Amino acid sequence: MLYLASKSPRRAELLARLGLDFGVLDLDIPEHRQPNEPAEEYVRRVAREKAGAGLLTVMSVPQALVLGADTEVILDDEVFGKPRDAADAAAMLRRLSGRTHQAVTAVSLVNASREAQAVSVSEVSFAELGEDEIAAYVATGQADGKAGAYGIQGAAERFVRHLSGSYSGVMGLPLFETSRLLKSFGVQ
C-alpha cells in the first residue's frame, strides 16, 4: 500500500495523475533549517523526515510504502518557506521580483527495508512585480501555505517569465522523478 506523507492537496492531486491508489497521512513535521545546513540538504532532510515519520505510523500495514516530499524556494542560499502572514508574503515576492530563484523539491520513498530519494531543481525567473500586483496577489490568499509565497499553478503563473526544469516539481511533486522512484520499488 502506498501512502503520501503530506497535507498538501497539490501533492495529492499530482500523485493521483500517475494513476495510483494511495492513502494520505496527515503529519506535522517541523521544518526548520539547521545552522550552516546547505539549502538543498535541508530540503532533502525534511523530505526524508516526512517519509520516515509516515512509515512509523503505518508499520502495521504489510508492504507499506511511504512517499514524503518537501519543496522550498531558494534565492541566494536563503530558503523561502511558507509565509507567516500577508506582510511576509509580500516581502518574499518583492525579493523574488525580477530575479531567478530555484524551486527545489526532494522526494523520499521508504518501506521497511529500503529508502531512496530524488531531487528536482528548477530555475524560475520572475518578471519585475509592481507593488499593486504583489498586493493584489497576496489578497487572493494564494500565497498562503506556499513556499516562496506563490503557487505556479494559480494566479502567480503570470509572474513566471521563464521556467527551466519541472513544472510539477515547482508545484510540489516532480512527476518524472517520482515515477522513476516508484518504478524502482516495483510500483507501476
The answer to whether residue 85 is catalytic is: no
C-alpha cell of 77? 542560499
Q: Which residues have CB under 8 Å from 140's CB, separation 6+?
A: 154, 155
CA distances from 47 to 37, 40, 68, 77, 157 (A): 15, 11, 5, 18, 25
* Number of neighbours of residue 57 by Cβ within 10 angstroms: 15
Q: Which one of 21, 70, 76, 132 is the catalytic residue?
A: 70
Long-range contacts of 23-32 (CB under 8 A, 24+ apart): 23/58, 25/54, 25/57, 25/58, 25/66, 27/53, 27/54, 27/57, 29/53, 31/70, 31/81
User: What are the residue numbers of the active site?
Assistant: 70
